[in-house]
A and B are shown apart, each in its own frame.
Chain A
């Protein structure tokens, strides 16, 4: 019986650890994606260092896309569709947002870059996606993103697409705990 008990407790420990491992996959996944940049997520903290210099020898085209999510009534689009930049140059681009409804709505933009591996080389100094945005009924605003392309960008990337999906997060707003999670 004692023999059984020690073995059972070891096996139960494995079970509990594996249950924990399932949840540990969540941060592991985020860290893994951030380090490798494979799922096209850009960093959710502002870049603090600028590039050493500007690489005028080549040009990279940045394409801007915007998409309000299914239940998001805002009108949401980039001011211009594409911009050609030199790696290292800092640029500011505006997105237009308009709330055509009769109520206040809070939005959260989630960026995505393709090709995914280029996400590591697109640095944002300032972005409206770092925080939640509120728009009162009928209001409009310009939402800036300030960025530069890392001169270390591998040569195979000549075009980078930056897409934002905008979610209606009014329901979770109002100081709920979930807000801290936002702003990926």
Chain B
């Protein structure tokens, strides 16, 4: 019934919604754009994932089996770039598009046409990046961190395409971030004060500031790589008075805030899900906001913890070591707040809650390995080993990616109007949970024992562990097919979802019907 009234409504106040491909090409609707971002991220997740499968296949046994070393390096490089810029970041942007206007009671994003642009340039960026793999000499093979001189003196001509595609990704992220800030700043419903905003909105607001501060620095770094390689400058070339270590400073000045760009929205998601399924308000709301803000500020002061082995003077390593450890404090505040929220709550364990719980435990493990890496003398041993790989996959896969999956399950009924298949979802959860640990936990051990990262072969004593890790990897990859199945099934139909969907859910997005109508909050809602 409500669907009919609505169709009627926008025949009145909006000209018409084009159908077919044109609807998606020209749409300025935040929900359409959010959906496109999410679908795009999912596709990229599988493309990047298949590259990971190539990596694990090669590492299944010692010795060279399937691919050439140079191709192996291209796989690690492009896998990293795609997962960071193509999967995790667009997925968060998609969630922001869908949810932020609904959470703050706004009719749409503030700059809808720019929103369309920021999405539609993305597929081209990744098309360019992927096509560069087919160039003579191959695609980028210098790691997602593209350290000079690997990316300058020793890289092949696909580097120009790499630089171009990173520029486009950066422009897209910056436009998206500006849109988020303007929307939150100017379009909150009356009486939706700052300290009433849901934490997902808060964390995205802060993330958007991080984005506009560091994406331009990344753009600068790739530009310098480009001019060093093709136009005779010497930013990073010692022969011309430059310094390759400078590259690392510029890159990590971007790079460390970037890792927080990939985790702050996850904190927001978990802070939305835990209270719903614990049926208690979030513990320590204000401290969560302040913790997020202080993490963001501190994230600018720790970049050189990626560079302990470059021969920095002792006082500098000490400074970066202590600042890095300091970040663990606000992060710990968050973990304690989530636990306190659950304390004596009436908990139920639907799939979003399961992923959120797994997030808390596994992300914390990643935080602990981060603390170990932050200890300068210890990092001399761990740096560039599989221990680092284990660390950042715990925070990024069982952290950021799990939070995105949790968010998808949590809001799918709101998006499609149907409940997802709970049994399949639980199957997806348990398969993912077990395989992700089979995949990443043993990496700690091989890393501590000295297995270097980004190398296609390894010493014989690592063989058993690596076979084990590879099996975990294949299982994790397969488990994600269940996810696709659940999504497709849920989009096609199922049990009808109510407006509130979850018994304990609170917030404006749960006051509109499910599926959320094409236009919501054309008149601002009443905020209590």
Contact = CB atoms under 8 A, between A and B. Distances in A.
Interface of A is mostly: helix
Contacts of A26: 224, 235, 246
A43 to B, nearest CB: 13
A22 B181 contact: no
9 contacts: A4-B110, A7-B185, A15-B174, A22-B221, A25-B250, A26-B246, A178-B232, A178-B233, A182-B239
B3 to A, nearest CB: 31
A117 B313 contact: yes
B245 A110 contact: no
A106 B217 CA distance: 35
Given A19-B219, A23-B220, A29-B246, A4 B213 contact: no
A16 B110 CA distance: 21
Interface stretch (A46-54, A75-83, A91-99, A165-173): A165-173
A18 B238 CA distance: 25
A184 B244 CA distance: 14
Given A4-B111, A18-B217, A176-B232, A182 B212 contact: no
A44 B238 CA distance: 13
Contacts of B246: 25-26, 29
A184 to B, nearest CB: 4
B253 A7 contact: no
Contact of A181 (B178, B234, B313): B234
Interface of B: 110-111, 174, 178, 181-182, 185-186, 212-221, 224, 232-235, 238-243, 245-246, 249-250, 253, 311-313, 316
Interface of B is mostly: helix
B115 to A, nearest CB: 12
B212 A21 contact: no
Interface in A51-107: 69
B509 to A, nearest CB: 23
Interface residues of A, number: 40
A137 interface: no
Given A7-B182, A15-B216, A25-B220, 12 more contacts: A7-B181, A11-B181, A19-B216, A19-B220, A22-B217, A23-B224, A25-B249, A26-B235, A39-B243, A110-B238, A110-B241, A116-B313
Contacts of A69: 239
A21 B215 CA distance: 11
A145 interface: no
Contacts of B216: 15-16, 18-19, 21-22
A99 to B, nearest CB: 17
